[in-house]
Chain A
Amino acid sequence: MTTYESILHPKSLVDQLVKNDVTHVVWLPDSETNFLYELMNDTPTLDLIPVCREGETMAVAAGLWVGGKKPVVLIQNTGIFESGDSIRGLGLDINQPLVMLIGYRGWSRRGPTPDSAAVYIEHHLHTWGINYYLIESDADADRISIAIEEAYRTNKPVGVLVGTEFGSD
């Protein structure tokens, strides 16, 4: 039987951002990211940009990107549903290499998934033609690097679904 470390520590995610020279995290907190927030705040190379509504994130990121910076977006899956016109107009239409870290609220490998936020999110990304990766533990964290590389190679938004709560460091 294979065993593995099933916790996703915030440091694993932040290490990936730092390693890939990410400059800004445009974000709106979700229910699972408080430890991550504290760590990002303490990381001098990352500038956090809080927004009031998730659809703002793609637009702020577009301005940063065209201005020469390397942002990512960090929101919950519910925020993706709210952000449709921004993803279309300021992500896909302008070929923004936008990595969206998406809290996968409702995701579970065990039993049914009654939360419609989880039920619909992958269908939603498929509809947009947005490729995505799932991370659930520290062992998956390098998929963030894969997503960033893919976004800049294809000039398209790429999703990273964060399918677990962050542990504390």
Chain B
Amino acid sequence: MINNTEAVKLLNSKRENSVIVATMNAGNARFGLPTVSSNDSLDVPLSGAMGKAGNFALGVALANPDRKVMCLDGDGSLLMNLGTMVTVANKAVKNMYHFVFDNGAYCVTGGQPVPGAGIVDWKAMGDAAGYAATFSFENLEDLVTGIDEVFAAEGPVFIRLAVDKEIENTPVQFRERPRRTMKDAIIELPKALS
């Protein structure tokens, strides 16, 4: 298993001028991208429509074909909208890297298992949907070794990361709030892109 913070730290270290759309645990205010980001003006902490991070990232990637776009998705959120994998693959966006943080659980609601936890073969689903390249990593050592190959591949690329469950059990109103919101990102990203 890969530690969530170590995963986002590694992806951030490889970002150069990439836009990163992060949702669920990958965008968590305590241990996700906001805690390690080196350029949060290019980060989109996607909230507000669970399951739509891949679609939003697709739009950004189509609008900015010369810039890499990473989508850091959750397994529960992607399961809500599996068709997005076909939508993304169908547009053959060469600059999009779609990661799914596979922890097998709805961590923000207390850790209930997602349907198909431990059964779904995400890499095979990426292949079947038509992504140009797919990868799956079970541990940090392999991810560190393989990440350059991931970003050398022409997109759309689908990458499954087996990550630890980091479960939120604190009542929602007492959880740490993200410093930047989706609305902030919507205002700031166009300036950062220009």
Contacts and interface: CB of A to CB of B under 8 A. Distances in A.
The answer to whether A and B assemble together is: yes
Interface of A: 24, 26, 47, 49-53, 55-56, 58-69, 71, 85-86, 88-90, 93-95
Contacts of A49: 58, 62, 87, 91
B83 A52 contact: yes
B81 A55 contact: yes
Interface stretch (B142-150, B170-178, B185-193): B185-193
Closest 5 CB pairs of A and B: A63-B59, A67-B63, A89-B48, A52-B83, A59-B55
Contact of B49 (A51, A69, A86): A86
* Majority SS at the chain B contact face: helix
B10 interface: no
A56 B87 CA distance: 9
B62 A47 contact: yes
A95 B63 CA distance: 19
Nearest to A49: B91
Given A63-B57, A67-B63, A68-B194, 20 more contacts: A49-B87, A49-B91, A51-B87, A52-B83, A55-B51, A56-B83, A60-B59, A63-B55, A63-B59, A63-B61, A66-B190, A67-B59, A67-B189, A69-B59, A69-B62, A85-B49, A89-B52, A90-B48, A90-B52, A94-B186
A66 B189 CA distance: 7
Given A52-B84, A68-B190, A93-B183, A59 B90 contact: no
6 contacts: A55-B49, A55-B51, A55-B81, A68-B193, A68-B194, A94-B48
B193 A67 contact: yes
Given A55-B81, A68-B194, A88-B49, A62 B56 contact: yes
Contacts of B194: 68
B98 to A, nearest CB: 13
Contacts, number: 111
A89 B49 contact: yes
A93 B87 CA distance: 24
Contacts of B62: 24, 47, 49, 60, 63-64, 67, 69
B59 A61 contact: yes
Contacts of B87: 49-52, 56, 60
A50 B62 CA distance: 13
Contacts of A88: 48-49
A169 B151 CA distance: 46
A67 B84 CA distance: 19
Contacts of A50: 87, 90
Interface in B31-71: 44, 47-53, 55-64
B114 interface: no
B188 to A, nearest CB: 10
A63 B60 contact: yes
B86 interface: yes
B63 A64 contact: yes
A90 B49 contact: yes
